[in-house]
Amino acid sequence: MNIELRQLMEQTSEVFIQQVKEWGEILLGFESGNKYELLDSRGSRIGYMAEDGGGILKFFVRQILRSHRPLEVKIWDNGGRELLSLKRPFFFFFSTLEVRSEGSLLGIIERRFGILYKKYDLEDARGNAFAFVRAPIWRLWTFPILDKKDREVGVIKKNWGGMLKEIFTDADKFGVQLPEIEAEKKAIALAAAITVDLDWFEDNNQRS
């Protein structure tokens, strides 16, 4: 884990993730590689993130496979230094997202089977689950992050209604309250917000 990422995670308890739309996507409904800004609790940008759009073939793959497509996402700080790399293969039902820093595996986010709950396991590099996302299907916008004792230690929210509500005007924004845990695991929790967006909201964003 690089120094910049460790410092950012140690200093950050809330991250707001704001999707940036391109004009072609807005006017035509076509999806390009997703792009985001990462904001702190004061609304200042602390980094940015982008999906590898990668040419005409990946463009058509995005149109056909939508949220089930394979993807690679990079996260950089404001100085352009790469902090995280996220990679997910194509999936039918349950997604698996790898989280890496400087090429080394930090952890994995596994989507699990659930009927009444939307479920994710947050695992470290050894495959040990240290936190869980358990969101009842009737709570459409809120995804609690739980520890091993089933206590809520963080939360992922679409349409965040907290301090920065005034800057969030559409559905392409997330707020993430990160658990007070080690920096490596905080980074995995941050990546979980992207997984939730891609798995549950991306198709709706495209239709809207």
In the chain the domains, ranked by start, together with CATH numbers, are 3-207 (2.40.160.200)
Low-confidence ranges of the chain (pLDDT < 70): 21-33, 53-55, 57-59, 61-62, 65, 67, 159-172, 202-208
pLDDT number for residue 64 = 72
Of 145, 185, 139, 156, residue with least CA distance to 9 = 185
CB 58 within 8 A of CB 66: no
pLDDT number for residue 86 = 95
**Residue 34 one-letter amino acid:** N
pLDDT number for residue 52 = 76
CB 117 within 8 A of CB 135: yes
pLDDT in tens, 169-208: 444 577 899 999 999 999 999 999 888 887 887 654 443 3
118 contacts: CB under 8 Å, gap ≥ 6: 133, 134, 135, 136, 137, 143, 200
